Chain A
Amino acid sequence: MEKFRVLFQHFQSSSESVMNGICLLLAAVTVKLYSSFDFNCPCLARYNALYGLGLLLTPPLALFLCGLLANRQSVVMVEEWRRPAGHRRKDPGIIRYMCSSVLQRALAAPLVWILLALLDGKCFVCAFSSSVDPEKFLDFANMTPSQVQLFLAKVPCKEDELVRDSPARKAVSRYLRCLSQAIGWSITLLLIIVAFLARCLRPCFDQTVFLQRRYWSNYVDLEQKLFDETCCEHARDFAHRCVLHFFASMQSEMRARGLRRDTAGQDTADRDPEPPEIPKPPDGLDGGGSGKAHLRAVSSREQVDRLLSTWYSSKPPLDLVASPGLWGGGLNHRAPTVAPGS
């Protein structure tokens, strides 16, 4: 239990590790999905290729889109891309960095599916059994071409009566599986080499730029999360004070009604539109300075709407020291990008 919690906390520690966690989870789901999927080659001439290739390519596409959906940073990236500049300059390098990191992580699950399918071999055998060259196999020497085509189409189906226990079928099937596994392992090797080279050679170029971009992309993500949390806190305080205010207004209404009843000397049940006496401020509203501090002087619908619009259309500059009144053009705290080789 303890190690589960430690693992969990490690994954939640930064936005990058959250993304890695989601990526791994999706890869595990892909493996489970592949193993539970019941492969069913139609063993008919034209349908084989469509089915085999469709199964090799459609699920990876769906998994890629799922990877993009499950990753919160893809939405943050699009928001950062489309926002108006406001007081904060937009850096295309950061957007490119976020895009590439999102895409890399989203590609993990589709690649797992493709590699599993190739290493397993069923898809490949189904798709390409009709395209095998019959000259390679001696067993087809005394069959007519149409018979050969029919036979080859049924090779993926072991239990079909035409090809059951046929050495020719086993030969073709073995050949195609061997080819499929070779391609699968080659792709795996290629991907690992590319990843290795990219990782090792990256520090040779643009290291400072890379560090800056990583920092600011992490910052954008955290800032969005914190803004959402602060809005939640604010909404809670707003609601609390609204409800207390409501109770206090009812109280003052009761008091006014009671007073009127006493002065008039009769019980009037109807609402009298006469304004009441000035009620004293109820105690609940002044419950500590902390309550007011939470609301941060934003205490009406128009003010909240204005705050949210301004957050979107005109993000504040990244300068905590300058006073808020100096938000003019040109106040950009970020260091300019270092050109490579300078």
Chain B
Amino acid sequence: MDKFRMIFQFLQSNQESFMNGICGIMALASAQMYSAFDFNCPCLPGYNAAYSAGILLAPPLVLFLLGLVMNNNVSMLAEEWKRPRGHRAKDPAVLRYMFCSMAQRALIAPVVWVAVTLLDGKCFLCAFCTAVPVTVLGNGSLAPGLPPPELARLLARVPCPDIYDGDWLLAREVAVRYLRCISQALGWSFVLLTTLLAFVVRSVRPCFTQAAFLKSKYWSHYIDIERKLFDETCTEHAKAFAKVCIQQFFEAMNHDLELGHAHEALARAPASSAAPATTDGAEEEREKLRGITDQGAVNRLLTSWHKCKPPLRLGQEEPLMGNGWAGGGPRPPRKEVATYFSRV
């Protein structure tokens, strides 16, 4: 347990290493899934290729989508993409950066699946057993005598040792070795190609666009943190709201009871002396509410956060209404409004 906690703490130490950790786990899970999977070639002429293509292509697609789903940043990307412009311009470079980094991480598990499948060879064997060059590998003289459907039916059974009955034409071991050799060659070429691509992308990037890359990285990280902090602040607000609401309810009940049982005023004295203490606590909670104290106001706040994100400019009091872009032009002169209340 302690070991897991330590590993978890290390992975959480920053966002990047957490995502890398998830990546590594998914890659291992993918390899484990393959070894646990019971491959079962149908050994029939038309079905072999379809089954093998399905095994080679469907799980990687599922793993890719799973990789995207498990990445929290997908919803962040979608939000940033579809939000209304509001007071804050949208930067397509940031969106591209976020999408690229997510896609790169999600592609690792599918690549591992495809590589392991090709290096193992069973899938390739099942798919291409009917395409083996019999004239070269086996008794070439006997092959032309067979009609093609019969030959296909015979060769389709190569992956299944129990039912293969074509040893007179082509030794099963020879065909299996031949196809597995080609499959492994393809597998290693695929691995080499993907690592080369990853290397080129990673090492060549600093030669171009480095400044733009630094900006995109900063702002994508910023958007993530801002979203988390907003959620935290809203949770704090909701807690304070709930506390004040409940306190008010109890006070109201208390008040009703006081009015209803006036003859017990003396007995209530310690309770009323305790009331200022609760109102002190209530004052603190009201402070936390920051003036947003009813459902309509909260809904308006949340809508405004989505529809009209504030500009990225601190240090000045910018009105939310008014001419929009902070500092965009000459501001309208502020009017001072003085009001008089009278209570009669």
Interface on A for B, CB 8 Å cutoff? Answer: 1, 4-5, 8, 37-38, 40-44, 47, 50-51, 54-55, 58-59, 61-62, 65-66, 68-69, 74-75, 78-79, 82-83, 157, 159-161, 231-232, 235-236, 238-255, 259, 262-263, 271-279, 281-284, 295, 299-301, 304-305, 308-309, 311-313
Contacts and interface: CB of A to CB of B under 8 A. Distances in A.
B80 interface: no
A301 B225 contact: no
A5 B203 contact: no
Contact of A78 (B206, B225, B292, B312): B206
B291 A254 contact: yes
A1 B2 contact: yes
Given A159-B173, A235-B218, 18 more contacts: A40-B181, A42-B180, A47-B178, A66-B195, A236-B225, A239-B229, A247-B237, A262-B339, A262-B341, A278-B317, A278-B334, A304-B215, A304-B218, A304-B219, A308-B211, A309-B214, A312-B214, A313-B211
Interface residues of B, number: 72
B203 A62 contact: no
A76 B336 CA distance: 56
A241 B14 CA distance: 21
Contact of A250 (B219, B320, B332): B320
A82 B215 contact: no
Contact of B317 (A55, A83, A262, A281): A281
A5 B310 contact: no
B202 interface: yes
A78 B203 contact: yes
Nearest to B335: A275
B290 A41 contact: no
A239 B215 contact: no
A248 B336 CA distance: 19
A295 B314 contact: yes
B310 A249 contact: yes
Nearest to B301: A250
Considering residues B174, B229, B292, which has the most beta carbons from chain A within 10 angstroms of its beta carbon? B229
Given A232-B14, A275-B332, A300-B314, A246 B305 contact: yes
B328 interface: no
Given A244-B233, A309-B215, A51 B195 contact: no
Nearest to B214: A308
B264 interface: no
B119 interface: yes
B3 interface: yes
B206 A284 contact: no
B215 A308 contact: yes
B251 interface: no
Interface in B176-208: 177-178, 180-181, 184-185, 188-189, 191-192, 195-196, 198-199, 202-203, 206-207
A240 B178 contact: no
A68 B291 contact: no
B315 A259 contact: no
A246 B290 CA distance: 11
Contacts of B315: 299-300
Nearest to B197: A65
Contact of B203 (A43, A68, A245, A248): A68
A275 B339 contact: no
Contact of A263 (B173, B297, B339): B339
Given A239-B225, A244-B233, A299-B315, A51 B218 contact: no
A245 B320 CA distance: 11
Contacts of B14: 232
Considering residues A68, A275, A276, A282, which has the most beta carbons from chain B within 10 angstroms of its beta carbon? A275
Contact of A243 (B203, B230, B312, B332): B230
A311 B229 contact: no
A295 B10 CA distance: 27
B337 A259 contact: yes
Contact of B218 (A161, A231, A273): A231
Given A41-B177, A55-B188, A235-B225, A79 B202 contact: no
16 contacts: A41-B181, A42-B177, A44-B178, A51-B185, A61-B192, A69-B199, A78-B207, A243-B233, A244-B233, A245-B314, A249-B310, A273-B322, A282-B290, A284-B290, A309-B211, A309-B214
Nearest to B193: A62
Nearest to B326: A300
Nearest to B297: A254
Interface in B267-295: 287, 290-292
